[in-house]
Amino acid sequence: PLKSLRLLGEAPTSVGPSFVVLPGCLAVGRALSEAQRLIGEAIAVHIAVMQEAALEIPEPHTQAATVDVKASA
């Protein structure tokens, strides 16, 4: 299975996960459980379209780091 870093954006009324190795593949749900179900469906469709177009499915590769940013006054 494809495993990669999931980015999770949260807004007041929605949650939106996306995956770094599949640019443009994202989903939005009202709650985390809904968003996780939808991103699973979105990934399956995204990969099927890539396969139909004879595109290479990327290998998972994930790095994460933190950045310290000074807030301006």
Q: Tell me if the pTM is above 0.75.
A: no
Rounded Cα gap, residues 6 and 9, in angstroms:
10
Half-sphere exposure of 53 (CA within 13 A, CB side): 9
Dump pLDDT digits (tens) for 4-53: 666 677 788 888 877 767 878 888 888 888 888 888 888 889 989 999 99
Rounded Cα gap, residues 21 and 2, in angstroms:
9
